[in-house]
Structure 1
């Protein structure tokens, strides 16, 4: 008898998640992605549980979801908080999105819009959408970093294969708010605010926001404008206010009370101020930068000579090709690889000239 062969796990791409959500939300199934996600461990922090409640029991595989899809979903949602890369997917715009803050924000939006149980009133008052997406994890990260040199934000990372992403590798020691968590949180806020205005199937919402397919040329997806849209919804002052509010809530919850035991009101306010300032500078006010490893760059030929500041001058140069602008991550990554190939093999240069 031949041994059983495990089905191939789908790639860790947003399209794979959309396929699962389509099966969950079909009229015959009537599943709830929010409840399922929390049952698998999406909302595991004290502040998130205070807002959304204790998670339901561990769910079984729903009808219509294949064994391979269920394996992927459980791996994405049931992972240790210290390994957020295991809970992230590659989106069509080239960003890597942590699903936990995204799905938590979606559930808050649905319940704020009248779907499901009403959200509780908390003391101190706080915005539940910001609490479950970014305020708690941001405040906690800066609390733990303290005045040391420990990083409280970032880093980013790269996938092993952008066409079939399975493994994501950090480009430095991860904080509690690496780039995928920050991106998932911003998307959770933007989409949660949309759902608060009226219900929409989650698969339809995500497909409209991220687009579909890694090579679509239909135009830039709304997710490409997340920094602008998040900034319009949540200014720096409001983010600071909500981080301070959620830290006030954590004083009453374990283990947050231990972290905050020796901090006074002024010190907590300073943590919130620093967290909001640095998050806004990095993720709202600065543009996203795609690292070489993500678009699939070949290695530099030879040994590069590091620049030695101060520099006398800097030249900013852009490409002439492609003649038609690329409008998706897949198309832009291919264009970058084509230009690098031409410069290295056609012109004999050490690397791409831009």
Structure 2
């Protein structure tokens, strides 16, 4: 039971803030270090019931803490003693800073920088671990009770019958998994007369469902702040995280990352027989090479794995059920007071649709500040959106694919230096760059004219794969990002026209880019425009040029 006790102690240390201590960088590595330190010092005989009671008596989970208590453990819990010296002073200070998530004054609190370059909210991550260690449960909703609610009625979830298996050995969770298809959540809207939820899944309730529902109850039907990114003050020793959209909702990119990570890891723990792996090892693997050696089960692919873990209709039911439960637990809740079941059902459906379309179905894009972009030189030219083309490139140099954040970020900085300092351009030429680490890297972005396809820069977005694909292909995950995910989200956001076409760089400019192997595959894509020829091809003397010498990236003049 050591994993139970370690997590409870870690969360409970927020009771004893110690001002004036040195601040460790807000990095996931130090959260993992805190877990490891506790795993060495915590008593191995900590019983599950005592640990659960202690945690709930010591941690305030925020405005919906009553739902967390009811879903996971019930009420009427008594406080327990805690040895406050189980962690070093620095780690206690770190955990106090990150234990609660919030957005205030354009800054986000309770988040850390992960090794994959993503920013993760710690609170929903730990909530998922907590639910997983408790054993994923189905919690009956006390919708017909009239007096004060007592302990929840729970049954352990039959995961084999109700959810896809999420194990390190599951072929669904590999980086080369088949395309994920998303059900139409509108077509599967909850029917308030026939399918009112009678239970909630403890794991989804505490990680994602209740926050998703409450956030969409706060304001208008459209939420441009869903999944808002931000920038750290520095990368080696980050301390402050500033959001790119000052009016962002609490459902920031960091929160959604933490919620998905908590749901995935909690589900993994609930399926893993005791003794559980040390939590420090589990997180090290998940934010590293992959859990139990499976490269697909890691933070880089959280969105794909989240789509496997639950369907959109299932999540809509969970959001609806969580809102109904909180309404029963707190009848005077300002957002839920007077809301009918039908209204909550509609809101749950809308929230789930937005989350699915704007987050799960979209690629994860690291903003410029994350990879360390130098400032744009000069005055950028805005694009006239929407555009009609997506131009596919390969970088040629760097030739090897980049497979982790450090590699990909270094490649981006190298290309930008070459484009700015040697070519004399204003910025890196590409609109976006696709790595083999599961991420897209923002170049000039959606709004600025790039320098990627001479003569056509204002008519389409130039997107490059990192690597040389003359004789081989990018990973299936990277190809899926370019072919499906990036254009699908660009269409939904109004950046691409509905009739957009995909072209290889060589179709418009004298070049061998994007490489023979990649171009031959490109010709099989549904949106590929085979009848487009470069203007220079009309000259009989035209021959494709070879790529530049292997010391320079292959990008055409601005």
CA offsets per residue over residues 256-302 of structure 1, 9 Å max, x none?
A: 64322332222111101111111011221111011101111011100
Per the TM alignment, residue 144 of structure 1 is displaced from its structure 2 partner at its CA by 1.0
CA contact (8 A) 1:142 1:152 kept: no
CA distance in structure 1 between the aligned counterparts of 2:35 and 2:89, rounded to whole angstroms: 14
CA distance in structure 1 between the aligned counterparts of 2:83 and 2:91, rounded to whole angstroms: 9
CA distance in structure 2 between the aligned counterparts of 1:346 and 1:140, rounded to whole angstroms: 51
CA distance in structure 2 between the aligned counterparts of 1:204 and 1:88, rounded to whole angstroms: 20
Given the alignment, which residue of 89, 92, 96 partners 1:67?
89
The residue aligned with 1:215 is none
Distance 1:176 1:319, change over 3 A: same
Runs of 4+ deviating beyond 4 Å: 27-38, 53-61, 78-84, 149-152, 218-221
The residue aligned with 2:398 is 322
Distance 1:187 1:79, change over 3 A: closer
Answer 1 or 2: which has greater strand percent.
Answer: 2
CA offsets per residue over residues 11-63 of structure 1, 9 Å max, x none?
A: 11111111111001115655899866983544662322322356875986743
Distance 1:276 1:200, change over 3 A: same
The residue aligned with 2:381 is 305
The residue aligned with 1:88 is 111
CA distance in structure 1 between the aligned counterparts of 2:239 and 2:56, rounded to whole angstroms: 20
1:1-354 equivalence runs, <5 A: 8-26=22-40, 29-30=43-44, 39-42=58-61, 45=64, 46-53=66-73, 62-78=84-100, 85-112=108-135, 120-121=152-153, 124-147=198-221, 151=224, 153-172=226-245, 173-198=247-272, 199-211=276-288, 222-254=298-330, 257-311=333-387, 313-354=389-430
SS of match in other structure, 2:24: coil
CA distance in structure 2 between the aligned counterparts of 1:59 and 1:261, rounded to whole angstroms: 37
CA contact (8 A) 1:145 1:151 kept: no
CA contact (8 A) 1:98 1:181 kept: yes
Q: Which has the larger radius of gyration?
A: 2
CA contact (8 A) 1:100 1:184 kept: yes
Q: Which structure's relative contact order is higher, taking Cα pairs within 8 Å and 6+ residues apart?
A: 1
| Count of aligned residue pairs for this structure pair | 340
CA distance in structure 1 between the aligned counterparts of 2:388 and 2:90, rounded to whole angstroms: 56
CA contact (8 A) 2:114 2:287 kept: yes
Root mean square deviation, CA, Å = 3.0
CA distance in structure 2 between the aligned counterparts of 1:294 and 1:128, rounded to whole angstroms: 34
CA distance in structure 1 between the aligned counterparts of 2:241 and 2:56, rounded to whole angstroms: 21
CA distance in structure 1 between the aligned counterparts of 2:339 and 2:305, rounded to whole angstroms: 34
CA distance in structure 2 between the aligned counterparts of 1:121 and 1:334, rounded to whole angstroms: 52
Answer 1 or 2: which has greater helix percent.
Answer: 1
CA distance in structure 2 between the aligned counterparts of 1:47 and 1:124, rounded to whole angstroms: 15
CA contact (8 A) 1:340 1:352 kept: yes
Distance 1:41 1:250, change over 3 A: closer
CA contact (8 A) 2:100 2:123 kept: no
Per the TM alignment, residue 9 of structure 1 is displaced from its structure 2 partner at its CA by 1.7
Per the TM alignment, residue 145 of structure 1 is displaced from its structure 2 partner at its CA by 1.8
CA distance in structure 1 between the aligned counterparts of 2:71 and 2:344, rounded to whole angstroms: 21
CA offsets per residue over residues 58-116 of structure 1, 9 Å max, x none?
A: 986743522111111111114657588221111111111101111011011001079xx
Structure 1 alignment gaps of length 5 or more: 213-217
